[in-house]
Amino acid sequence: MTIRNNKDFGESVRLERLKRNMRQVDIARKASVRQALISELENGATSARLDTVLKVLAALDMDLSIVPRRKAEFDPTEY
């Protein structure tokens, strides 16, 4: 899943959290942040710090990786 802005990140967090049947407060506790922050991040309301991004991803058992840029995938909602 490629992340190009805060909204992408928020959507990914929400998606992965729901896949795991977790509540915001569960992620928050694992990542040692507030439930309110998870809400804000999922809604793309703020640009998290890298360490916060990493804590949240760790709570989801996910990693961040940097990769050569690829063209954007075809997005049917654009048509």
Residue 78 interacts with a copy of itself (CB under 8 A)?
no
Three-state DSSP at 69 gives coil
Q: Which is nearer to a copy of itself, 6 or 35 (CB)?
A: 6
Residue 52 interacts with DNA (CB under 7 A)?
yes
Site for a copy of itself in 17-36 (CB under 8 A): none
Could you give the CA distance from residue 13 to residue 53 in angstroms, rounded to a whole number?
Answer: 10
Q: Which residues of 31-69 are buried (b: 16+ CB within 10 A; e: fewer)?
A: bebeeebbebbbeeeeebeeebbebbbebbeeeeeeeee
Residues in contact with a copy of itself by CB under 8 A are 1-6, 9, 12, 16, 47-54, 57-58, 61-70
Residues in contact with DNA by CB under 7 A are 23-25, 32-37, 39-43, 45-49, 51-52
